[in-house]
Amino acid sequence: MAAPISDEILIQQALAGQQSACSMLVKRYEKYVFTLALRFVKSREDAHEVAQDCFLRMFRYMADFRGDCKFTTWLYRIVYSTALNHLRKKTPEILSLDDAERPLQLKNEAAPDASAALERDDRNAALHRAIEMLSHDDAGIITLFYLYEQNLDEICQIMDLTMTNAKTKLCRARQRLRAIMDANFSTEFGVKMAE
Amino acid sequence: MENHVLMTDDMLWDYADGFLSDQDKKRVDAYLSRHPEWKTRLDIVLREKREMATLPLETPAPGFSDRVMAAWATEHLAAKAAAKGDDWIVRIIVVVFGLFVLTPVVAMVVAALQLSPEQTTTPAFEMPQVALPTVPLETWLDSAFLQYGLVLAFALIGLRFLDKVLRHQFAPQALA
């Protein structure tokens, strides 16, 4: 089986004006970009809009990508800034995606769909739902670190954070996720961790 | 050594995520080997970490990539058209053609509008009767004015073409 064409080659072809290379890049990353956008903006409709904007910005600024970082890191940085701009437009009072001060939604009544996830007895669905209940920033950093396997250095570049800040945010996000899972999905994640 | 370890969930997660120094990692290893209940907790942490890493990605609506490509094509065409308008060589070509081709036409119109001295006394409502100046085609084609103008215009078009070829050839190297 032929090896897939690398991102670098696709970028070169796209820069040379090959539409097929642009299309392949979109198809290769549409799920990643859409998932991350959805984690930030929380609505599928808005996530489609943000994801489309991301790809357009990716094409626009592709010539500026010098390969200093991984292509995915560069792309996720675009997703983060596009989502942030989108949220600022929708709710002008949002100055940052960091909702650290926002109280957690730990009660079952705050998450009406939680019971559906429980009925399905599906840990994945419950975990997915728990991540959805996190704030934008928490869901984003959890997704980037655990699902997209971006290391802390890369997360710093994507979210424009210092190393200490990124580590603290990740730690807090994990704690909040744990709290949400304990409060809403105790059947799936029955073993409570140490206080 | 074990006494120095204050085991917490955060430490377990840091251990699982590889954030601990080698020294701390050894301490945690030693602690876990003596405390099976914490080893069980670590197994839970590792399972949750694995589950987070294997969560299925969200799928955008069907035709999403086609819509993106259509939007890009529209934007690309608009940008191309705008860039063409901003191109200095294209502007110069327009000016050269304007000077060398349109100037005689403008000159003829101006000449046609000029009134002879006796006609200046005619009442305003009467149309002036003037003969249009005529330039034979052969004379016009033989004029150095037109020939140099055309040579200059074609030279600029060639320069523009060369510019496009060079840009196309060297653009991908920006990635290197």
Does residue B70 lie within any of the structural domains?
no
pLDDT band at residue A82 under the 50/70/90 scheme: very high
Note whether A82 and A109 are same-domain residues: no
The answer to whether the CB of A189 falls within 8 A of the CB of A123 is yes
Asked if the C-beta of B97 comes within 8 angstroms of chain A's C-beta atoms, the answer is: no
Residues in chain A with CB shorter than 8 Å from the CB of B176 are 67
Q: Considering A95, A123, A147, which residue would you say is the last residue of a domain?
A: A95
Candidates A30, A40, A71, partner chain B, best to mutate (most B CBs within 10 A): A30
How far is B16 from chain A, CA to nearest CA, in Å? 11
Note whether A114 and A70 are same-domain residues: no
Q: Determine the structural domain holding residue B157 and report its residue range.
A: 81-175
Q: Which two tokens stand for residue A161?
A: 């954070």
The tens digit of pLDDT for each residue in A126-179 reads: 888 899 899 988 999 999 999 999 999 999 999 999 999 999 999 999 999 988
Candidates B65, B75, B76, B169, partner chain A, best to mutate (most A CBs within 10 A): B65
Note whether B91 and B41 are same-domain residues: no
Does residue A72 lie within any of the structural domains?
yes
Q: Determine the structural domain holding residue A146 and report its residue range.
A: 105-186
Does residue A24 lie within any of the structural domains?
yes
pLDDT band at residue A34 under the 50/70/90 scheme: very high
pTM score, whole prediction: 0.66
Note whether B43 and B94 are same-domain residues: no
Residue B173 has a pLDDT of 45
With 0-12 / 13-18 / 19 or more C-beta atoms within 10 angstroms meaning exposed / middle / buried, residue A195 is: exposed
Residues in chain B with CB shorter than 8 Å from the CB of A17 are 168
d(CA A68, CA A157): 11
- Under the phi-then-psi rule, with left for phi > 0, alpha for psi from -120 to 50, and beta for the rest, what region is B47? alpha
Cβ contact (<8 Å) for B68 and A26? yes
Residue B116 has a pLDDT of 54
d(CA A178, CA B51): 13
Closest-CA residue of chain B to A175:
B10
Who among A35, A55, A171 is closest to B57 (CB)? A35
Note whether A28 and A84 are same-domain residues: yes
Contacts across the A-B interface (CB distance below 8 Å): 111
Note whether A83 and A128 are same-domain residues: no
Q: What kind and span of H or E run contains A44? A: helix A44-60
Closest-CA residue of chain A to B66:
A23
How far is B4 from chain A, CA to nearest CA, in Å? 18
pLDDT band at residue B80 under the 50/70/90 scheme: confident
Half-sphere exposure of B66 (CA within 13 A, CB side): 3
Note whether A126 and A167 are same-domain residues: yes
Q: What's the ipTM?
A: 0.76
Residue A33 has a pLDDT of 96
The tens digit of pLDDT for each residue in B117-159 reads: 555 555 555 666 666 667 677 777 777 777 787 888 888 888 8
Does residue A1 lie within any of the structural domains?
no
Which of A168, A173, A143 has the alpha carbon at shortest distance from A158? A143
Does residue A100 lie within any of the structural domains?
no
Interface of A with B in 48-107 (CB under 8 A): 48, 51-52, 55-56, 59-60, 63, 65-67
pLDDT band at residue A108 under the 50/70/90 scheme: very low
CATH number at residue A44: 1.10.1740.10
Higher per-residue confidence, A43 vs B166: A43
Angle CA A154–A158–A161, to nearest 5: 85
The tens digit of pLDDT for each residue in A50-75 reads: 999 999 999 999 988 888 889 999 99
Note whether A90 and A118 are same-domain residues: no
How far is B66 from chain A, CA to nearest CA, in Å? 8
Note whether B49 and B85 are same-domain residues: no
Overall domain count for chain B: 2
Note whether B38 and B118 are same-domain residues: no
The answer to whether the CB of A147 falls within 8 A of the CB of B55 is yes
Q: Name the percent of chain B lying above pLDDT 90.
A: 26
Q: Considering A37, A68, A95, which residue would you say is the last residue of a domain?
A: A95
Cβ contact (<8 Å) for A55 and B55? no
Does residue B143 lie within any of the structural domains?
yes
CATH number at residue A142: 1.10.10.10
Cβ contact (<8 Å) for B60 and A48? yes
**Strand, helix or coil at A67?**
coil
Does residue B149 lie within any of the structural domains?
yes
Asked if the C-beta of A174 comes within 8 angstroms of chain B's C-beta atoms, the answer is: yes
Which of A97, A101, A55, A110 has the alpha carbon at shortest distance from A79? A55
d(CA A58, CA A159): 17
Residue B176 has a pLDDT of 32
Q: Is the pLDDT of residue A111 over 70?
A: no
Overall domain count for chain A: 2
Candidates B21, B46, B52, partner chain A, best to mutate (most A CBs within 10 A): B52
Q: Which two tokens stand for residue B3?
A: 């006494």
